[in-house]
Structure 1
């Protein structure tokens, strides 16, 4: 099987190689910690604030993807919009890490499989069912992947110390969100997943392979209801989005 070919060896092209390619990565300023929201609306709200300025960019055939420098309580963090999908996000993380970033705080929406989870609740994924492709190139084949117990305890403690309510649960990571069939959803729920996303298993595998410090959380969104049909639910208003950014800033405080 192709997805059973994990090899813990150097690749033909390594992320460091991109640093030597002119124009692919432009670095003016980096920080220890970079915060990566998926929401384009939130990214705009952050980067339009006074005092926020561009610190660099990475580039690909789609164009340039900048990061910005944001100061919070006298400390600087970088902010960059996370790209959708495991391949795009992990490729970005590879390049950011070799550029000098050390801590990665990633957050965005997840679909809900368990109707008891209301919208806009913070989810800390404990592990993920690997229904995507990237993770199999960074970790040996297995049904699930997750962070170490020590890392999970540390992550949860940060949220608890700041009195941030959250739910810890297993996720299901899939590339094919238009192929979440009713029977497949039921099987994933039977395996313990309460939420579904597109990147987390990929990111978890990358973090393990590269020994990277990643703090990845979700906020609940649409409900994948196999009995009554898809429920798009209400959107996430600006106040909620800024609240999630504040959670990311509190995590960053602890890492500094």
Structure 2
């Protein structure tokens, strides 16, 4: 099966695994651990890596920024650590690169905006993501949602319970248009069951599935769009960074 032509170019999915430029085009002598934490935690990944003496084994050059790739030992197992760039295209590009060098089991964490009332810093587990971004359509045939790996979800949920916390599975809205979340769109997404909004989940799920890797995500609530008449940026969920990374590390070991 090849490309099926369509009037809308984004819907012309090609299932071919190889491309003109592959994610391992540099042919680095790099062999990453199977397990990886790939998280949207600002500079906290770097601070944690330096604090625990993690080894920097590589750096991904995105043309605008270098993303250090660390390897650390956590409870006796080697785990790769990498800060994830914001935005579906950038995040999927780096995830694809990591997978090409040996990563196979990945847990991500990142902030999300809430569409329904959730306190800031609440941890949620997406079970599927609405594909309102462009990148996932290069990794999976057109569909409205991307399902999130069940083994990854179970590992995250078991980890949350082991930390004596509650969790809730949610449907997330993944969008490229941070400044295009209009009142009508927010209401529409809420009406079809989306509880939160972020920018990468559907793309990362599609990329991992296309490359036969296992990927799951832990979301923590940041800003609020629950009241479209009064947007509340709150504190962008920053106080959740440290605990989110601990949950990711424990969950990736549980995979």
- The equivalent residue for 1:103 is 105
Give the deviation of 1:136 after TM superposition. 1.2
The runs of 4+ residues in structure 1 deviating greater than 6 Å are none
Partner SS state of residue 49, structure 1: helix
Give the deviation of 1:153 after TM superposition. 4.2
Aligned residues: 248
- Measure, in 1, the Cα distance between the counterparts of 2:220 and 2:59: 27
- Measure, in 2, the Cα distance between the counterparts of 1:46 and 1:100: 22
Change (3 A) 1:229 1:55: same
Change (3 A) 1:127 1:43: same
Give the deviation of 1:17 after TM superposition. 4.8
Contact map agreement 2:149 2:214 (CA 8 A) in 1:
no
- The equivalent residue for 1:34 is 36
Partner SS state of residue 15, structure 1: coil
- Measure, in 2, the Cα distance between the counterparts of 1:151 and 1:38: 17
Contact map agreement 1:26 1:57 (CA 8 A) in 2:
no
- The equivalent residue for 1:193 is 194
- The equivalent residue for 1:134 is 135
- The equivalent residue for 1:242 is 242
1:91 to 90, 93, 97: 93
- The equivalent residue for 2:66 is 64
- The equivalent residue for 2:5 is none
Contact map agreement 2:120 2:222 (CA 8 A) in 1:
yes
Contact map agreement 1:130 1:145 (CA 8 A) in 2:
yes
Contact map agreement 1:129 1:172 (CA 8 A) in 2:
yes
Contact map agreement 2:104 2:214 (CA 8 A) in 1:
yes
- Measure, in 2, the Cα distance between the counterparts of 1:39 and 1:148: 22
Residue 233 (1) aligns with residue 240 (2): no
Residue 169 (1) aligns with residue 176 (2): no
- Measure, in 2, the Cα distance between the counterparts of 1:141 and 1:243: 35
Give the deviation of 1:16 after TM superposition. 5.0
> 1:18-59 CA distances to partner (integer Å, 9 max, x unpaired)?
133xxxx573x6222121221223123302304222122222
Partner SS state of residue 84, structure 1: coil
Contact map agreement 2:105 2:214 (CA 8 A) in 1:
yes
Contact map agreement 2:24 2:101 (CA 8 A) in 1:
no
Calculate the TM-score normalised by the size of structure 2: 0.88
Of 149-158 and 84-93, more deviation after overlay is shown by 149-158
Of 75-84 and 189-198, more deviation after overlay is shown by 75-84
Residue 217 (1) aligns with residue 218 (2): yes
Question: Which residues of structure 1 form unaligned runs of 5+?
Answer: none
CA RMSD for the aligned pairs? Answer: 2.1
